[in-house]
A and B are shown apart, each in its own frame.
Chain A
């Protein structure tokens, strides 16, 4: 058990070192994680599909190559979980929706291709809110994922499957996607690290689109260095994605290893705090700011006046793109088909299939977006929202003239209870209040754990925002705060996390 414990709690970098030293084999590491998934997934529901056979075969081949003296990459042999929004041939891709149940993509997304090329071991596909629309995984057609810190609470969303798999030690790494906060908010409420790279920094090819101008894939991990190593594997130009940036990635790994904020100007965003923020969130955030100041950073207060309109603009632009991107799920070529009785017309079958296949939140957004793009309303809604978006970009530009990075809490509260917000869309949307501006502006942004809120003992996250293509600054600040806090606590954040394999098994044993 202690060896399994060591494997499961190890960082990705630690696993690679152990494989290179011959301490553990890749097969052993993979098998240990598959066992952990078998034990915990029924309770946490992180994974929608587990690819045990292929993972073990890959692991054995990596062991053989390493034994043969081949020089492998910096994450070779590390198991990873992939959000079920990315196409990976050989496994179903559902996007958390009934409408795609059982659909087998015939091709790999670029991110998956790069994971495979870098010899990571893909364990399976993780749960998400339907088509990534939600902040809790409660809109998934395949059940809600649980927060390992408290199984009655949400693991965040949409990437709650990825965040909970990493937080429950069912994978050291995971891939997430972030349209309005779907990597950062789940990271925040599970005590893990999650980074939304600069828009265009990671290819979107093969990732089922929610809102094309906002979507971005990124790393989920338990340490800042691991996140940076994964970012480096998946990032960089891809000719198959026109919006991919044809420039070298900034050196995120070096930044994560030499986190040092001395001399940095760090801006605290006035508009991202105050009313509506949990006391424990504010307290931990204030302490983190103090730590950064002590470490030599210059802390300044910065106002981004248009951020207060970010949510409104987001809920016009995102649904508009959603309404178009999800049109293709029409039962003609793949996915669920309902009402094809030989009598119904094509339009009837499309209508019935979409009615049966999409959940309430997806329908809500399709309707909002269809309305926002309608003739006669376009200028008032979509057009105005794009103008607000430009103003938010300008707010960021002005702020980055004065500061190297901006910081805020990652989300206003700690993990909320399952069921608490599902009937109140506006309350649910507020979970993304702090994260949305960076999606609208396309800049780099990450969430890093900064301790537990005193009132509920649940994780709090610090959001670090940097200019486009300055992702390294996000890691620099994240690594610094990680180091200072570990020094203060004498252990890592995740060392404080409950070990479900013990508590759950004990509970079951007791019954």
Chain B
């Protein structure tokens, strides 16, 4: 049953942009990184065996009651503040009622008409232009369990003969960040949508409130798109493409829907208000169409008391907000003297700016920190298929290696071996140096002898150097380094050779 391609007709993107103005609405779910769930003490750790992180509360057993996770409320407020939102003085949770086996209580505890944060905005800089995205609300809710459909080809419910439910995820805290309708982006709409997601991802990391791993579903976007004919003020019918889980996909889904809706409207057709699925190959398909609008029968959750954050607390949280990612980037580029090209490389390597910053704070120069993280370490991360931040070496250790280089104890080649040792779990850099015997030989006697031997073994080369052909010293340095098995400071070797042959 898996569809392989779309049958939708698409309008040329540029033509669509000549005829229509797109209006976007982005709803982003952020899974928080709190240690425990939204309403109980169960762990939220990813990847545990199914249904091992559950209790009467998150299983919705008869008689159980929820208790609000204070850290999740704090995270929600910090997210709201970082998005320039108002913070409610008083708000409640509501129940969203619907029957589905992944909801243990057959209702989701969420927020409805009283979100904790509302009316914010964020200014995005996209290739030199600034776009303001208005934020409608940030609200708290609990995640549902995870259904695993068995017996079908696609892993989807269609065609499956039975389904299993894992409630480990049930009750994990989710924040939903909803924009107001975003107009006036014109042809830049997909690009700005992508930049908005990237901004949220960086912000969550900077705030430390979410792991923000899009591939693990920590950040999930529902992208709403509609088209208005140029010159019209009337909003068109929107579609909602669910669970778009990468930056590239957000851009792709927005672009695809603009082209698809454009073709429909141009032919005098009608856009159906529906949810759609995103396919990684670059297209969307209609989701389960609902004959009637679902009535969730929201009402205030009677098992929970209202949340009323004091103004003092909110101001404390505001004062402790980290620097916004965009201004941090600008500041560090200036401080470190990176060129625009270098900065683009840094930003293109997820997480590298924070690692470089930490390495500099640990004593390294910015140039050396950049060289290590974007060079040797990026290569090793790439080989291992992990993120830079997941390498088993800390910025402090990288700075320690660089310090050994700076004091002349290590040359570049040896430093790479030390890093290899640290990554292999052999201990701190100093430990690796000692255990592997990697220090540069600074015994002048041994070095001097090796130089004398190299001169004696290569009389022709020595003669040319004596005649002033200093560049010929390279051959002798190579011979000495070989004799010393690399553990010599090449600069010092060169000095000795020139000294002896002058």
Contact = CB atoms under 8 A, between A and B. Distances in A.
A373 B297 contact: yes
Contacts of B104: 328, 333
B109 to A, nearest CB: 11
A209 B56 CA distance: 14
A333 B99 CA distance: 13
Contacts of A95: 62
Residue from B163, B295, B297 whose CB has the most chain A CB atoms within 10 Å: B297
Contacts of B101: 330, 332, 346
A21 interface: no
Nearest to B305: A242
Interface string B294-305: 010111001111
B13 interface: no
Contact of B302 (A105, A205, A207, A321): A321
Given A323-B297, A350-B99, A334 B61 contact: yes
21 contacts: A86-B63, A93-B63, A100-B62, A107-B61, A205-B63, A206-B63, A207-B63, A209-B62, A242-B305, A243-B305, A324-B107, A327-B107, A328-B60, A328-B104, A334-B61, A346-B101, A346-B163, A347-B99, A373-B298, A374-B295, A374-B297
B97 interface: yes
A33 interface: no
Interface string B105-134: 111000000000000000000000000000
A370 B299 CA distance: 11
A109 interface: yes
Nearest to A350: B99
Contacts of A239: 67
B95 interface: yes
Q: Is the interface of B mostly helix, strand, loop or mixed?
A: loop
A333 B107 contact: no
Contact of B62 (A208, A323, A346): A208
Given A105-B61, A324-B299, A334-B61, A242 B106 contact: no
B197 to A, nearest CB: 32
B341 to A, nearest CB: 55
B430 interface: no
Interface of A: 86-87, 93, 95, 100, 103, 105-107, 109, 204-209, 211-213, 239-243, 320-321, 323-324, 327-330, 332-334, 346-347, 350, 370, 373-375, 378, 382
A99 to B, nearest CB: 10
A180 B60 CA distance: 24
A242 B67 contact: yes
A205 B105 contact: no
B85 to A, nearest CB: 25
B166 to A, nearest CB: 13
Contact of A242 (B105, B295, B304): B304
Contacts of A204: 65
B88 interface: no
Given A346-B101, A373-B299, A375-B297, A328 B106 contact: yes
A100 B95 CA distance: 23
Nearest to A93: B62
Contacts of B342: none
Contact of B63 (A87, A346, A350): A87
A9 to B, nearest CB: 34
Nearest to B304: A242
Q: Is the interface of A mostly helix, strand, loop or mixed?
A: loop
Contacts of A207: 63
Contact of A324 (B56, B61, B165, B297): B297
Contacts of A87: 61-63
B68 interface: yes
A106 B56 contact: yes
Nearest to A369: B297
B64 interface: yes
Contacts of B303: 209, 212, 242-243
Interface in B298-328: 298-299, 302-305
Contact of B65 (A103, A105, A242, A321): A242
Given A205-B65, A240-B67, A375 B302 contact: no
A100 B295 CA distance: 27
Pairs A-B, 3 closest by C-beta atoms: A327-B106, A373-B297, A212-B302
Given A208-B62, A241-B67, 15 more contacts: A87-B61, A93-B63, A100-B62, A105-B61, A107-B61, A243-B303, A324-B97, A327-B107, A328-B62, A332-B101, A332-B165, A333-B60, A373-B297, A373-B298, A373-B299
A350 B68 CA distance: 29
B302 A208 contact: no
A209 B60 CA distance: 12
A13 B427 CA distance: 69
Nearest to B147: A346
A243 B301 CA distance: 11
Nearest to A209: B63
Contacts of B97: 323-324, 327, 373
A497 B68 CA distance: 48
B3 to A, nearest CB: 23
B378 interface: no
A338 to B, nearest CB: 15
B473 interface: no
A374 B293 CA distance: 12
A351 to B, nearest CB: 9
Contacts of B62: 87, 93, 95, 100, 103, 105, 208-209, 328-329, 334
